[in-house]
C-alpha cells in the first residue's frame, strides 16, 4: 500500500511537471502565432490533421480541392487520406475532437503493446508502472496536443506489424505494415526488417503481401477516382514538402538523391540490428531500436516525432537494472523545457523552440544501451528471462 501511494505521488508530480512544461511550449507557440497574425493563446490546441480533413471534407461534399500536385505541400499517401474519408462528414470542431481522441487511444494502445511482455521475473511487479511515465512523456503529450493522428497511426500500425511477426500472424503483418506506410520515411526501414525476418518463408511473405494488397486495393481505387494522376501528383506534392532536420540537410547538400541515400543508410542500420533474426521472430528490443533509428529519417518539427523512440525505451526499461530509463525519458525533457522557459517565454521564442526538437535525438541516444547489452532472446537462453522470449509479444 505504501509503495502504491508513493508511486501515485510521484506520478502526480510528473503530471504537474508535464502540465507546466506543455504550457510553456504552448505560450511560445502562441507568441509566434500572434506574430503571424493569429489569435492564439496558451490553451490553443493544434490540429495537424486538418490538411487531411479539409481534403476529405471537400471530396465528401463534392467541392473542388487542390489535393496534390506541384506546389501543394502534402506528403501523406493518397490511400491513407482516403482511409480517413468518413471524417469528412464531420464539422471542423467535431473532427478535431474525434481525431484528438483517436490519437490518444492509439498512443495508449501502442504503449500497452510494447510494455505488455514481462521480460524477466524480477521485473514483474514494476512492469505495469513503467507505462505510466511514458504516457506522461513529452512526445506523447505533444502528439495528442497537436492532434498528429497520422504519426500516432503510423507508430501503432508499425508496432502491431512487429507484434504480429513475432506471433507468426503474417496476414496481420501485411495489413498493419500497409497502414504504417502513412509515415513513409519511418516505415521503409521497418518493412526492410520485416522482409528479413521472413527470409526463407515465401508462403508467409506471400500471405503478408496479399493481405497488405487487399487492404490497400480499395483505397487505391478510390484515390484513382478522386484523381486519375494521383501518383505523379503525389510525387509533386512530396517535392514541395518543407523538409526539416536531417532530410533538409541532405536535400540541400546532395540534392534530390539525398533522401534516397539517407534512407539507404537507415535501412542498412536497421537490418544490421536484427541480422541474427533472419527467418525468425524479431527480437523486441532490437526491433524497437530499429524503429527509433527512423527518427533522423523523418522531418523534425517539435517533440512528436520522438514517439518512435518510445518502443526501444520501453523495452530497455524492462531490462534488469534499467527501470529508471522510463522515468528519465519522461522527466528529462520536461525539465529541459522548464530550464529553457526564460527564452521560450520571451518576445521571439522561435529559435529556442527549434532547439527543443533536439530533445528527440536525446531520447534516441538514451536507447543506446540496447546496442551494448545482449538481445532479449540471448538473456532468456542464459536463464535470465522467460523460456521462450522470441515467441512472446513485443
What is the reported pLDDT for 385?
A: 45
Provide CB contacts within 8 A for 371, sequence distance 6+. Answer: 273, 289
| pLDDT over 60 at 57, yes or no | yes
- 38 φ, ψ to 5°? -95, 150
What's the grid cell of residue 317? 526499461
Instruction: Look at 209 and 378; give whichever has higher pLDDT.
Output: 209
Q: Is the pLDDT of residue 123 over 60?
A: no
Tens-digit pLDDT profile for residues 11-20 = 999 999 999 9
pLDDT, average across residues 335-355: 93
pLDDT for 381 equals 61
Average pLDDT over residues 209-213: 97
Q: 211 near 174, Cβ under 8 Å?
A: yes
Distances (CA, A) of 346 to 21, 24, 195, 220: 15, 11, 49, 47
For residue 96, the model assigns a pLDDT of 97
pLDDT at 382: 60
Mean pLDDT along residues 28-56: 92
Please check the confidence at residue 53 and state whether its pLDDT lies above 80. Answer: yes
The x, y and z cell numbers of residue 22, run together, are 506543455
Listed range (57-71, 124-138, 178-192) with the worst mean pLDDT? 124-138
326-341 confidence digits (pLDDT tens): 999 999 999 999 999 9
In this prediction, residues 83-103 reach a mean pLDDT of 96
Q: Which three cell numbers stand for residue 253?
A: 547538400
**What's the rounded Cα separation, in Å, for the pair 272 and 189?**
11
What grid cell was written down for 59? 471530396
**Cell numbers given for 299:** 522531418
Tracing cell 512526445 back to the chain, one arrives at 139
100 has a pLDDT exceeding 90:
yes
Q: Nearest CA to 9 among 129, 122, 125?
A: 129
Q: 3-class secondary structure for the chain? A: CHHHHHHHHHHHHHHHHHHHHHHHHHHHHHHHHHHCCCCCCCCCCCCCCHHHHHHHHHHHCCCCCCCCCCCCCCCCCHHHHHHCHHHHHCCHHHHHHHHHHHHHHHHHHHHHHHCCCCCCHHHHHHHHHHHHHHHCCHHHHHHHHCCCHHHHHHHHHHHHHHHHHHCCCHHHHHHHHHHHCCCHHHHHHHHHHHHHHCCCCHHHHHHHHHHHHHHHHHHHHHHHHHCCCHHHHHHHHHHCCCCCHHHHHHHHHHCCHHHHHHHHHHHHHHHHHCHHHCCCCCCHHHHHHHHHCCHHHCCCCCCHHHHHHHHHHHHHHCCCCCCHHHHHHHHHHHHHHHHCHHHHCCCCCHHHHHHHHHHHHHHHHHCCHHHHCCCHHHHHHHHHCCCCHHHCCC
106: closest CA among 183, 214, 220?
183
Q: What is the mean pLDDT of residues 197-212?
A: 95
Q: What is the pLDDT of residue 125?
A: 43
Amino acid at each position: 500500500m505504501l509503495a502504491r501511494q508513493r508511486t501515485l505521488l510521484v506520478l502526480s508530480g510528473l503530471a504537474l511537471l508535464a502540465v507546466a512544461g506543455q504550457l510553456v511550449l504552448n505560450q511560445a507557440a502562441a507568441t509566434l502565432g500572434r506574430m503571424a497574425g493569429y489569435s492564439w493563446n496558451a490553451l490553443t490546441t493544434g490540429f495537424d490533421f486538418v490538411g487531411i480533413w479539409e481534403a476529405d471534407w471537400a471530396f465528401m461534399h463534392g467541392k473542388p480541392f487542390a489535393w496534390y500536385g506541384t506546389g501543394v505541400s502534402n506528403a501523406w499517401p493518397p490511400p491513407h487520406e482516403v482511409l480517413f474519408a468518413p471524417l469528412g462528414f464531420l464539422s471542423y470542431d467535431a473532427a478535431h475532437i474525434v481525431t484528438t481522441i483517436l490519437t490518444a487511444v492509439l498512443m495508449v494502445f501502442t504503449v500497452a503493446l510494447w510494455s505488455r511482455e514481462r521480460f524477466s521475473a524480477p521485473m514483474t511487479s514494476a512492469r505495469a508502472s513503467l507505462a505510466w511515465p511514458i504516457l506522461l512523456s513529452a512526445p506523447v503529450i505533444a502528439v495528442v496536443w497537436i492532434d498528429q493522428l497520422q504519426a500516432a497511426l503510423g507508430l501503432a500500425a508499425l508496432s502491431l506489424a512487429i507484434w504480429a511477426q513475432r506471433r507468426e500472424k503474417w496476414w496481420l503483418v501485411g495489413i498493419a505494415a500497409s497502414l504504417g506506410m502513412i509515415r513513409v520515411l519511418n516505415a521503409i526501414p521497418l518493412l526492410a526488417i520485416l522482409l528479413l525476418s521472413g527470409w526463407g518463408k515465401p508462403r508467409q511473405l506471400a500471405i503478408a503481401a496479399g493481405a497488405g494488397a487487399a487492404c490497400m486495393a480499395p483505397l487505391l481505387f478510390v484515390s484513382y477516382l478522386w484523381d486519375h494522376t494521383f501518383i505523379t501528383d503525389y510525387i509533386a506534392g512530396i517535392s514541395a514538402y518543407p523538409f526539416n532536420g536531417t532530410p533538409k540537410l541532405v536535400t540541400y547538400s546532395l540534392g534530390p538523391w539525398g533522401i534516397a541515400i539517407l534512407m539507404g543508410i537507415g535501412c542498412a542500420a536497421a537490418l544490421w540490428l536484427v541480422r541474427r533474426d533472419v527467418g525468425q521472430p524479431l527480437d523486441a528490443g532490437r526491433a524497437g531500436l530499429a524503429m527509433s533509428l527512423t527518427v533522423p529519417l523523418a522531418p523534425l518539427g517539435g517533440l512528436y516525432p520522438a514517439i518512435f523512440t518510445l518502443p526501444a525505451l520501453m523495452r530497455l526499461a524492462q531490462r534488469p537494472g534499467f527501470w529508471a530509463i522510463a522515468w528519465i525519458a519522461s522527466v528529462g525533457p520536461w525539465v529541459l523545457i522548464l530550464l529553457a522557459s526564460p527564452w521560450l517565454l520571451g518576445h521571439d521564442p522561435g529559435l529556442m523552440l527549434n532547439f527543443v526538437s533536439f530533445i528527440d535525438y536525446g531520447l534516441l541516444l538514451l536507447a543506446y544501451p540496447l546496442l551494448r547489452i545482449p538481445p532479449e532472446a540471448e538473456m532468456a537462453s542464459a536463464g535470465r528471462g522467460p523460456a521462450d522470449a522470441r515467441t512472446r509479444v513485443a
